[in-house]
Amino acid sequence: MKRLAMISLGAMVAGCAAAGGAPLAAQSVPAHAVSALPAVYPQSTGNPLLDAAALLAAADSVTQPEQRAPLIERLDAMNVRLADGAPDDPLGEWRSQHQADESNPWRGRTLGPAYRRASLAAGQRVRIEQIFYAGQRAQIAAQASGGGQVAIAIANPRAEAVCQKQLSPNASCDWLPIYTERFSIELENRGRDNASVYIVIR
């Protein structure tokens, strides 16, 4: 009788575990794909631009295509695209190495946030210009990787500061332009190590 009661109790515990489900992390990633995840898999912050910048930086940090695959799939779901005039397209190269669904390749989708990458040596500054439209909310997010201590400064054509922040390792800025004009986005690596910075713009 005692043994039967213990067996019944064990069955009840197992039943409760099944009803309660696995932890959120286990539910969100299939068991067969866990080994393919990169060591640092960014979690959602609720800010799409910050999330995109974090995903780009994480994808840049891994070397195995199978580890990069889930990051690319999330970027594709967000419709992240290369910014006009950007000199290189790492995401395009990664997409060519991985195709989640060969029958439905990534092209011709609605354009989402635009990104570009900047590489900064220790002590180096990089300046980028971007047009934003009057009355439309401007949003920028940046994520640094590689150990550099990078600061971002945004100013209008009259050299009036719009946003100044330190990337630790990321930051975001948003404002409402009064005029349609070209804003400067300056990155400065104040550290001793080289750094890569992904900037995502909407």
At residue 3, the pLDDT reads 45
pLDDT tops 90 at residue 128: yes
Q: Is the pTM of this model over 0.75?
A: no
What confidence category does residue 98 fall into, taking pLDDT thresholds of 50, 70 and 90?
confident
**Cα atoms found within 13 Å of the Cα of residue 11, Cβ hemisphere only:** 6
Q: Cα separation of 150 and 166, whole Å?
A: 6
Whole domain around residue 54: which residue ranges?
40-99+110-201
Tokens of 83: 């910014």
At residue 147, the pLDDT reads 66
- Check which CATH number belongs to the domain holding 177 and give it: 2.60.120.380
What confidence category does residue 37 fall into, taking pLDDT thresholds of 50, 70 and 90?
low
Distance, CA of 144 to chain centre: 11
Q: Count the residues in the chain.
A: 202
Any domain includes 179 = yes
Any domain includes 16 = no
3-state secondary structure of 131: strand
Backbone angles phi, psi at 25, to 5 degrees: -60, -40
What confidence category does residue 66 fall into, taking pLDDT thresholds of 50, 70 and 90?
confident
Across 140-148, average pLDDT: 86
At residue 175, the pLDDT reads 97
State the total domains in the chain.
Answer: 1
Any domain includes 60 = yes
Q: Cα separation of 144 and 123, whole Å?
A: 14
At residue 25, the pLDDT reads 36
Sheet of strand 195-201: strand arrangement: 81-82, 114-120, 195-201, 138-145, 170-175
Q: Cα separation of 116 and 53, whole Å?
A: 10
Any domain includes 104 = no
Any domain includes 13 = no
